[in-house]
Structure 1
Amino acid sequence: MDGVELQILWSNMIGIVSEQARALQRIAFSPIVREAGDLANGLFDARARMVAQAVTGTPGHINSLAAAAANLLKHVDASSLKPGDVLITNDPWMSAGHFFDITVLSPIFRGQKLIGYAGSTIHHTDIGGYGIGSGARDIHEEGLWIPVLKLYEAGVRNETLFAMITRNVRTPDSLLGDLGAQVSSGMIASQRLNALCDRYGLDDIEALSDEIITRSENATRDSIRTLPGGTFHGESTFDVPGGDRITLKTAVTIDSEAGEITVDFAGSSGRSPRGINVVPAYTQAYATFAIRSTLNPDLPNNAGSLAPIKLKLPDNCIVNATYPSPVNARHVVGMYVPFPILNALAQVVPDKVVAEGSGAVWTVQIQGRDAEGRPFTSSMFNYSGGMGARAGKPGISAVCYPTGVSAVPVEVLEAAYPIVFTCKELERGSGGAGLQPGGDGQRIGFRMRTTQPWLLNTVPSRLSEAPQGLDGGAPGRAGQFLVNGKPVVLSGKTDMKAGDEITMITPGGGGFGALKAAKVA
């Protein structure tokens, strides 16, 4: 395909999937989607290969969505799909790893011919069950499990499924509103893709997707071939809710001849009894992100560029969760997956990696009754620590590598829930020292506007194991979780009293490079 023609068509594809994501955010009900961007949108060809993704979103959602389309279609005969059909699931092992993340896949037709799919995954406010924390003992305590079903069939709502969902969640209006946003964004993608075909005289996008995916895969393999071959080892240790220590180990094997990288997690911690276990798709999502962003981040992220990166996951491993492992807080471990990989790659491309950062975002969910006795249940809201430093730049403060999710503004939260923030500021000096210092964490304080007891559900990490520096850089400062000024270790839902004040001090990132000693006169 001619390079100029390809660039024009590719720009159109990116425009379609970006508009799809903007529509989803504009229509969504929940602050976690609308304000924080906890979502993913992708455009797939008729063979369920992800061709393009929206820039907005998180790696855990985007790269697991890349596999979700094919996983869903293993349970549905594609030849039986009709215009107006919409598929849905929140099966953790098919998509993004826990029940809160619902994937919607909308077939795109040109006339009566299936030419692709529009997919989206977003974090929903509530899915029933335990909530966002890690306290459930198996998957069935964690909420409503939606198998692969048709949410719409030939444009008609599946009323039975809608009724089942509505009766199993605490905030049905928000959930149904967000589902409607996902469906609407798929309709927009369908309209825009058909308009592209009209504009350029295309019957489908198969030749275009072949060209994009093949070029992306070849370019990724070429970038791997520039690296020295061999196996390089990395390790990262951190603490999780309840105080348990988790170690992730990786052996990163670079096959320079084939242009492939294999990441083996042998030796990593075993399955946890808490809901922090990670399904393979989520592990794959963050592992591929770490490698892709290090090697050639300018390449499109699609089925082609992801193909040369392979994983080996041992049995009974915390990053290879099997049924019926609890997984609701899988991000607490999953967002640490890049660090042992980067520690291994630091031996190969030290100028392209980052030191360890705060890791997982600190998530908070609140539940109770306000001063007038009205019930409330918040969606999850997030707070980041400091990012690790880079070889040539300091770490960014209050930005949590590797996720792309933002914090919901405090003004939005105070307007939506009976919550008052007492402080939100950078924790100066919490980043590790070095030639390039790590990013600072932040201090966030809040209390509830209520006269009644309320429930706190939160999953902080790195309260004892600080983020490590690279190449002689100092570690960042570990985090603190305080209730009324006293440190506490939480492992599940906690009863709080009216007037209790929560203070969260998120970890600082590790430094990069040793500080040079001052010259003696």
Structure 2
Amino acid sequence: MARSHPMDGVELEILWSNLIGIVTERAKALQRIAFSPIVREAGDLACALFDQRGRMVVQANTGTPGHINSLAFAGAHLVRLFKDRCEPGDVLITNDPWLSAGHFFDITILTPIFDGEKLLAYIGSTIHHTDIGGYGIGAGARDVHEEGLWIPPLKLYERGKPSAMLHDIIRHNVRTPDAVFGDLSAQVSSGEAAAEHLVTLCERYGIADIETLSDEIISRSEEATRNAIRKLKPGTYHGEAVFDVPGGEVITLRTAVTVDTESGSIIVDFDGSSSQTTTGINVVLNYTHAYSTFAIRSCLNPELPNNTGSLAPIEVRAPVGSIVNCAYPAPVNARHVVGMYVPMPILKALHQVMPERVLAEGSGAVWTIQIQGRRANGEAFTSSMFNYSGGMGARAGKPGPSATCYPTGVAAVPIEILEAAMPIVFDRKELRPGSGGKGRMQGGDGQIIQFHMLTEHPWLLNAVPSRLDRGPDGIDGGLAGAPGRFLVNGKSVSEARKLTMQAGDVVLLETPGGGGYGKPG
């Protein structure tokens, strides 16, 4: 029997802790059972619970900002599109870049949670899949249709049965179907388990659904965020970040951050930033919003729950057709190359408001490497994307951590895993001493990675390094970090396109160091 009495603080805390436990447990289970090392080893995923209105109520304690906050949009879109059309056993899917996380590799699964025939809520996850066909993770495709399989919002399962047609379409459009369906199955099964736990929770505490609970959580989160904004100095503050990307193109991100203490809101406007480009580094607004809100909330009130309520007071604007709000059919597969720089100009603007809480520029985007080729027996392989970070920018009171990428938080796939999964040998993996910028607090150092392939066949290299010409800026008088270097057989390379490599070729990466904070002593 459902209860109707008001929810007190003790009851709210008990139910909130239970929701956190359900979602976090499912995210960790998903990470354990995923086929893809980029999920299993690097934690490139997000998991969240949504109410009947498609509002993100609670996220797991693990995940990456680009996935988590983009999942808030993806879940809301799927709930809107399938409103009153879901039945027990249905599972929804999409990787539409403009509706979800910004490129085809990130597939969102949303499972409606039913108690009998009554809809209670939704559980959603987004993970990076190893393969989605098409060009691969690099920036060389000329439009989005060259980049891989586009899955519009559809039902992957209907009344508990797989959609045979959709499964066949996916299977025939990817290079490694067993791995792709292994990861899809991990997402689906983790959602099913979360659904069972939520139904049990509702029965245990006698609640008909989570709508009253979600209202309480979201309204409290929003009000707490607005109150934190009201304590800031009102005004409009400007920041700019300039960096080079594959092919040598220079990108500028400009922000105007307006703090409105009367309404308790912040507007981040990217007017004046670079226009979208012909290479696949363009960013959809969802992804821009994800990293913008992360940058603000990590400085403003990081201890608050991250949900629809805490995100509501932050508005993100960018001109359509800009590099951070690209228009169809712009290529987007390497959107992280620009997207992970989004916090940098915002932090420079916030330095004028809360200097003790920001950090200097870091290396920016992780350097992503994807390899395709054939083993000695002719069997094809596609590497899981492996990410290498540079140094993190220094903080006001602490140096920047080395080989740590802000803002993504994703880890590198261990070299032992990569060497076991494909014919690759890593000759070096070590810190790059002295690459962090000097300052009162020094920026973190980058790292050095060298590898070659054990194959007699030519192989393909998708590499998207950035900051090869200009290192990360210091702040408050701190010096810049060292730029990176990307070498093939000892020669510098900066290409947006996929490279054809030969047996015996040696690849060397030297990632940038982070910027320093404050004038050197």
Shorter-chain TM-score bucket reads over 0.9
Q: Give, in whole Å, the separation in 1 of the partners of 2:302 and 2:263.
A: 20
Structure 1 residue 408, shift from structure 2 partner:
0.5
Q: Give, in whole Å, the separation in 1 of the partners of 2:164 and 2:410.
A: 33
Partner residue, 1:14: 20
8 Å contact from structure 2 (residues 291, 343) kept in 1: yes
Matching residue's letter, 2:64: T
Is 1:5 aligned with 2:21?
no
SS in 2 for 1:208: helix
Is 1:119 aligned with 2:118?
no
Partner residue, 1:27: 33
Is 1:366 aligned with 2:343?
no
Partner residue, 1:72: 78
**Structure 1: gaps of 5 or more residues:** 517-521
SS in 1 for 2:440: coil
Q: Give, in whole Å, the separation in 2 of the partners of 1:388 and 1:349.
A: 16
Q: Give, in whole Å, the separation in 2 of the partners of 1:45 and 1:315.
A: 30
Question: C-alpha offsets along residues 330-376 of structure 1, whole Å, 9 cap, x if unaligned?
Answer: 00000000000000000000000010000000000111112232221
Which of 386, 389, 392 is 2:397 aligned to? 392
Partner residue, 2:55: 49
Structure 1 residue 467, shift from structure 2 partner:
0.2
Matching residue's letter, 1:54: A
Q: Which moved more, 1:83-92 or 1:309-318?
A: 309-318
Structure 1 residue 5, shift from structure 2 partner:
1.4
Which of 46, 50, 56 is 1:40 aligned to? 46
Matching residue's letter, 2:241: S
Q: Which moved more, 1:370-379 or 1:78-87?
A: 370-379
Q: Give, in whole Å, the separation in 1 of the partners of 2:376 and 2:486.
A: 26
Percent identity at matched positions? 69
Structure 1 residue 113, shift from structure 2 partner:
1.1
Partner residue, 2:187: 182
Which of 306, 310, 316 is 1:311 aligned to? 316
Q: Give, in whole Å, the separation in 1 of the partners of 2:428 and 2:10.
A: 52
Partner residue, 2:500: 495
Q: Give, in whole Å, the separation in 2 of the partners of 1:69 and 1:265.
A: 25
**Structure 2: gaps of 5 or more residues:** 1-6
Q: Give, in whole Å, the separation in 2 of the partners of 1:418 and 1:99.
A: 26
Partner residue, 1:519: none
Question: C-alpha offsets along residues 309-337 of structure 1, whole Å, 9 cap, x if unaligned?
Answer: 00121132100111111101000000000
8 Å contact from structure 2 (residues 271, 319) kept in 1: yes
Structure 1 residue 201, shift from structure 2 partner:
1.1
Deviating 4+ runs (over 6 angstroms): none
Partner residue, 1:244: 249
Q: Give, in whole Å, the separation in 1 of the partners of 2:97 and 2:120.
A: 27
SS in 1 for 2:84: helix
Which of 51, 61, 68 is 1:62 aligned to? 68
RMSD: 0.8
8 Å contact from structure 2 (residues 47, 126) kept in 1: yes
SS in 1 for 2:10: helix
Q: Give, in whole Å, the separation in 2 of the partners of 1:254 and 1:461.
A: 31
Q: Give, in whole Å, the separation in 2 of the partners of 1:275 and 1:490.
A: 12
Matching residue's letter, 2:478: G
Structure 1 residue 15, shift from structure 2 partner:
0.2
Partner residue, 2:448: 443
Matching residue's letter, 1:45: D
Q: Give, in whole Å, the separation in 1 of the partners of 2:183 and 2:159.
A: 21
SS in 2 for 1:79: coil
Structure 1 residue 497, shift from structure 2 partner:
1.1
SS in 2 for 1:251: strand
Structure 1 residue 7, shift from structure 2 partner:
1.1
Q: Give, in whole Å, the separation in 1 of the partners of 2:369 and 2:497.
A: 11
SS in 1 for 2:221: helix
Q: Give, in whole Å, the separation in 1 of the partners of 2:344 and 2:315.
A: 17
| Equivalent runs, 1:1-400 vs 2, <5 Å | 1-76=7-82, 78-400=83-405
Which of 513, 517, 520 is 2:518 aligned to? 513
Q: Give, in whole Å, the separation in 2 of the partners of 1:466 and 1:195.
A: 53
| Equivalent runs, 1:452-491 vs 2, <5 Å | 452-491=457-496
Partner residue, 1:408: 413
Q: Give, in whole Å, the separation in 1 of the partners of 2:385 and 2:289.
A: 24
Structure 1 residue 89, shift from structure 2 partner:
0.5
Matching residue's letter, 1:449: L
Structure 1 residue 26, shift from structure 2 partner:
1.4
SS in 2 for 1:74: helix
Q: Give, in whole Å, the separation in 1 of the partners of 2:79 and 2:224.
A: 28
TM-score, scaled to structure 2:
0.98
